[in-house]
């Protein structure tokens, strides 16, 4: 469904809701993919949304709900009766069920857990223990495992037994008699082997796994690096307790990229794109605005300090914005590249100084070009060669300073375990503005003093 | 391998290379995963890298090569003899082989194609036709298809026949006798069915596919939305011609996120993080620096125009940086959110005006808070209540203006099919700086005029 289709479909749905044409709407719910239904719900207003959702079977509703964005999901869930909500949660995979239950208010959580099947309840409770952003928090309990001394035939039997419950099966995990993960068998291999063969003899023994406490970003890196389609999760004793499938990893990658990008723009927590609460959004953005605000008041102090200079040679004031902005951009380019390198684990063993040195080389080259241009502008516009030299040199120095700062700060933050992405936003811009002003106005006053 | 391990391992490898301990190095090559070997190679210098690479079998070398970043891969490939390179390419999956061959200079490309097996050559040539960033450009020809009137047993036979050649099999595609894609069967289902059952009777008929010309970003969106593990590629007549696996989609998502983030920072083409060429990097970054440079010269013109104001009331100059920077940040927050919404296709049917309205609400709220603060600063520091009101009002207006501009520009660019991500970088900052100055100095001179 692209954007244009989507508008048409939503208009059509609105028309059918208005006409209270239940049979047509029920057909539509059957025809569309749950992911499409989720998009349609996101585009509807509260009342229409609740109505359309009420026409779905518990199974469809459960699939749609896992596709919804957080804000819409919370809206829908808060309007549901406990009995209906329990029915829907019962249909979900353990990881999705745990996600939904975790977001419920305490009292409703207890009620829903009391209403779902005992086995599902046990599973959800097992998953709720883990941190939301850890491997344990995103894993599901739907996986197929056999003992390594069982046969290919046993594995096939196990697949048949659990086929209903588990949608996607890519690998069979092999465990020893104490539950420790010892191997993995791609589903494909089962077709190539004799039914009597022992799993231990056909499994890959170097199985890549993650531990429950591992951060989801780290899990995503491993899955990406080793091109896995699913990764098993083990506890501290190497016992197999869950698996994470690639579609969840894709969501993690998306979430993390979003978070990084938003943080770079000075937005504290991830802002849900469908959120409409002015206060929630404001609270999320204000801190960085204030940091930049108070930081830039430092610029006012600098300007105050150079009061005399400004008055004497007003020409210098004209070029404050261009020097600060160009320096700032040079700093943001450097810090963005360094932040990405750190995020993608690609700073490598060569590390900090190589990276800083590289950024300095680029800043010097670009600084020389921009500096020459600024000299030309001042010379031809203001007919002042001496001040042209001061301005040209200043912009070069400011750009080099910003680039060095932009390259070093993310490494420092990374070292202290602070997300380096915050360094590319208002923080680095503010710092570079103040340094830039000091350099520029400092050079201007030295020039004035020498001229007297 | 985390960063610390990696440094230790690289040091160890360097020691072994220095000692020319070939047996130990060959063991190491066997022990490590190709993805780990690729990381090690990336950390070595040219000569050591070539040496370590030469110790790998063609099979290992082919796996390692597909894991390398572009810059390192080009380095290694340019040093290889054609015979060895052909041997390595021969071992690759069709999509990886086509990627490597596509990057070769024309003459070597011809030579390598002449050296590889005729069937592989035909496959690579078939893939080279497609645009690099299209579904055709990232698809592989390794997939399993059966006719829809064949049986489950036939499908199993086909899997066995091609198991060697195809690493990951998740789905069997069903085609009709003219080659059109008509269904899909998850591998798991084959275990649940009677060997004599006809594929047509057990396949899912609503199979989601993509066309060869579809942009890879669009493909990634579809795979993500529908939680697919692989997606079949069809030509204009719905004939099945390839498949794209999820690991390639993850690379696309990564590439696109990187591209977006870099573009937001004013970097034209994707900058490869391992690139060390100062000139190439400079060329990539300079355009946006120049746009910001010449744009900000507009600020100089604005200041020139308000010359009198500045001289008369130097106090206004002090607060130029804080007003410009805070307004700029407000604009970047808004444009970042809008750009992400567009990139993730989440602006939805509600669209432009809802989004702009939302951004305006937030800007007004945050503007009021920051404006009150600026008033307080000017009042208590400069003891000038009237100018405090001017400054406070100015920062509110500047923030609202920047937020509106930041929200509208990405939509406009999107409409004209220009990547909205460029709007979040130097472009929007520069525009907002100029508008901001005009608003602030305009208000200052009205205030001065009224006071006279």
pLDDT score recorded for residue B197? 94
3-state secondary structure chain A: CCHHHHHHHHHHHHHHHHCCCHHHHHHHHHHCCHHHHHHHHHHCCHHHHHHHHHCCCHHHHHHHHHHCCHHHHHHHHHHCCHHHHHHHHHCCCHHHHHHHHHCCCHHHHHHHHHHCCHHHHHHHHHHHCCCCCEHHHHCECCCCEEECCCEHHHHHHHHHHHCCCCCCCCEEEEECCCCEEEEEEEHHHHHHCCCCCEHHHHCECCCCCEECCCEHHHHHHHHHHCCCCEEEEECCCCEEEEEEEHHHHHHHHHHHHHHHHHHHCCCCCCCCCCCCCHHHHHHHHHHHHHHHHHHHHHHHHHHHHCHHHHHHCCHHHHCHHHHHHHHHHHHHHHHHHHHHHHHCCCCCCCHHHHHHHHHHHHHHHHHHHHHHHHHHHHHHHHCCHHHHHHHHHHHHHHHHHHHHHHHHHHHHHHHCCCCHHHHHCHHHHHHHHHHHHHHHHHHHHHHHHHHC
Tens digit of pLDDT for each residue in A104-129? 888 888 999 999 889 889 999 999 99
Contact between residue B10 and residue B40 where contact means Cβ atoms under 8 Å apart: yes
Tens digit of pLDDT for each residue in A215-237? 998 999 899 889 888 999 999 99
Q: What is the pTM of this model?
A: 0.82
Contact between residue B299 and residue A379 where contact means Cβ atoms under 8 Å apart: no
* Cα nearest neighbour of B426 on chain A: A329
The structural architecture, per CATH, of the domain B3-129 is Alpha Horseshoe (1.25)
Question: Among A306, A328, A331, which Cα is nearest to A317's?
Answer: A306
pLDDT score recorded for residue A146? 96
CB contact under 8 A, B337 and A267: yes
CB contact under 8 A, B429 and A223: no
Distance from C-alpha of B328 to C-alpha of B186, rounded to nearest angstrom:
52
Residue B4 pLDDT more than 60?
Answer: no
Q: Which CATH class is domain A3-127?
A: mainly alpha
Work out the average pLDDT over A148-162: 93
Question: Smallest CA–CA separation between B117 and chain A, in Å?
Answer: 26
Residue of B95, B165, B322, B441 to mutate, interface with A, max A Cβ within 10 Å: B322
pLDDT score recorded for residue B446? 83
Which residues belong to CATH 1.25.60.10 in chain A?
Answer: 3-127
Of the candidates A310, A333, A350, which has its C-beta nearest B267's C-beta? A333
Distance from C-alpha of B266 to C-alpha of B48, rounded to nearest angstrom:
35
Residue B311 pLDDT more than 70?
Answer: no
pLDDT score recorded for residue B423? 65
Chain A residues within 8 A of B366 when measuring between CB atoms: 282, 285-286, 289
Of the candidates B188, B228, B303, which has its C-beta nearest A317's C-beta? B303
Chain A residues within 8 A of B163 when measuring between CB atoms: 188, 191-192
Label the pairing between strands B171-175 and B240-245: unpaired
CA distances in angstroms from B55 to A102, A357, B33, B59, B73, listed in the order given: 52, 32, 15, 12, 16
CB contact under 8 A, B366 and A274: no
Confidence category of residue B178, pLDDT binned at 50, 70, 90 = very high
3-state secondary structure B165-184: CCCCCCEEEEECCCCEEEEE
Residue A176 tokens, joined: 């020893």
Residue A350 pLDDT more than 80?
Answer: no
Distance from C-alpha of A394 to C-alpha of A437, rounded to nearest angstrom:
10
CB contact under 8 A, A300 and B318: yes
Distance from C-alpha of A342 to C-alpha of A347, rounded to nearest angstrom:
6
Comparing A131-135, B151-155, B308-312, the range with the smallest average pLDDT is B308-312
* Cα nearest neighbour of B223 on chain A: A247
Topology given in CATH for the domain delimited by B145-258: CBS-domain (3.10.580)
Work out the average pLDDT over B343-359: 70
Which residues belong to CATH 1.25.60.10 in chain B?
Answer: 3-129
Which residues belong to CATH 3.10.580.10 in chain B?
Answer: 145-258
CB contact under 8 A, B429 and A337: no
CB contact under 8 A, B365 and A227: no
The CATH classification number of A145-259 equals 3.10.580.10
Angle at which helix A246-264 crosses helix B320-343, to 10 degrees, equals 160
Label the pairing between strands A240-245 and B145-147: unpaired
How many beta-carbon contacts under 8 Å exist across A and B?
Answer: 335
CB contact under 8 A, B365 and A278: yes
Main-chain dihedrals φ then ψ at residue A191, nearest 5 degrees: -75, -20
Distance from C-alpha of A372 to C-alpha of B29, rounded to nearest angstrom:
51
Question: Smallest CA–CA separation between B448 and chain A, in Å?
Answer: 18
Q: Given 3.30.70.260, 1.10.357.20, 1.10.10.10, 1.50.10.10, which CATH number is that of B278-451?
A: 1.10.357.20
CB contact under 8 A, B369 and A325: no
Residue B170 pLDDT more than 50?
Answer: yes
Comparing A282-296, B146-160, B193-207, B327-341, the range with the smallest average pLDDT is A282-296
pLDDT score recorded for residue B341? 78
pLDDT score recorded for residue B243? 94
Tens digit of pLDDT for each residue in B11-62? 889 999 999 899 999 998 888 999 999 989 988 888 899 999 999 999 999 9
Which residues belong to CATH 3.10.580.10 in chain A?
Answer: 145-259
Which residues belong to CATH 1.10.357.20 in chain A?
Answer: 278-451
Residue A202 tokens, joined: 């056909």
Residue B319 tokens, joined: 């607060």
Average pLDDT, chain A: 85
Question: Smallest CA–CA separation between B114 and chain A, in Å?
Answer: 30
Chain A residues within 8 A of B410 when measuring between CB atoms: none
Whether ipTM > 0.90 holds is no
């Amino acid at each position: 469904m692209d954007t244009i289709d989507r508008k048409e479909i939503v208009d059509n749905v609105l028309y059918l809701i208005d006409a209270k044409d239940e049979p047509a709407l029920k057909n539509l719910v059957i025809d569309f993919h749950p992911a499409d239904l989720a998009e349609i719900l996101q585009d509807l207003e509260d009342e229409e949304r609740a109505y359309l959702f009420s026409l779905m079977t518990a199974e469809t509703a459960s699939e749609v709900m896992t596709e919804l964005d957080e804000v819409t999901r919370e809206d829908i869930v808060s309007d549901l009766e406990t009995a209906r909500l329990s029915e829907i949660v019962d249909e979900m995979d353990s990881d999705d069920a745990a996600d939904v239950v975790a977001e419920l208010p305490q009292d409703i959580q207890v009620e829903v857990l009391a209403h779902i099947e005992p086995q599902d309840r046990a599973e959800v409770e097992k998953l709720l223990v883990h941190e939301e952003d850890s491997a344990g928090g995103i894993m599901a309990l739907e996986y197929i495992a056999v003992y390594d001394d069982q046969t290919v035939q046993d594995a096939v039997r196990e697949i048949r037994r659990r086929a209903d419950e588990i949608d996607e099966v890519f690998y069979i995990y092999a465990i020893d008699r104490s539950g420790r993960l010892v191997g993995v068998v791609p589903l494909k291999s089962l077709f190539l082997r004799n039914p009597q063969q022992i799993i231990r003899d056909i499994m890959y023994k170097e199985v890549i796994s993650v531990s429950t406490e591992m951060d989801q970003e780290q899990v995503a890196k491993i899955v990406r690096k080793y091109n896995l389609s699913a990764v098993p999760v083990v506890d501290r004793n190497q016992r197999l307790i869950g698996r994470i499938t690639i579609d969840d990893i894709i969501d993690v990658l998306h979430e993390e990229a979003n978070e990084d990008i938003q943080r770079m723009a000075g937005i504290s927590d991830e802002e849900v794109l469908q959120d409409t609460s002015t206060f929630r959004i404001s609270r999320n953005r204000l801190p960085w605005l204030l940091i930049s605000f108070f930081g830039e008041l430092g610029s006012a102090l600098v300007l105050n300090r150079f009061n005399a200079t400004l008055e004497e040679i007003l020409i210098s004031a004209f070029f404050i914005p261009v020097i600060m902005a160009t320096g700032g951009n040079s700093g943001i380019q450097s810090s963005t590249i360094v932040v990405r390198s750190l995020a993608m684990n690609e700073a490598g063993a060569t590390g900090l100084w190589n990276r800083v040195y590289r950024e300095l080389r680029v800043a010097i080259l670009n600084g020389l070009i921009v500096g020459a241009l600024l000299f030309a502008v001042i010379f031809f516009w203001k007919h002042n060669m001496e001040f042209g030299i001061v301005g040209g040199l200043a912009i070069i120095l400011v750009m080099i300073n910003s680039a060095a700062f932009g390259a070093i700060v993310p490494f420092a933050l990374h070292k202290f375990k602070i997300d380096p992405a915050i360094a590319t936003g208002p923080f680095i811009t503010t710092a570079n503005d103040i340094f830039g002003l000091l350099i520029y106005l400092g050079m201007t006053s030295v020039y004035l003093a020498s001229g007297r």
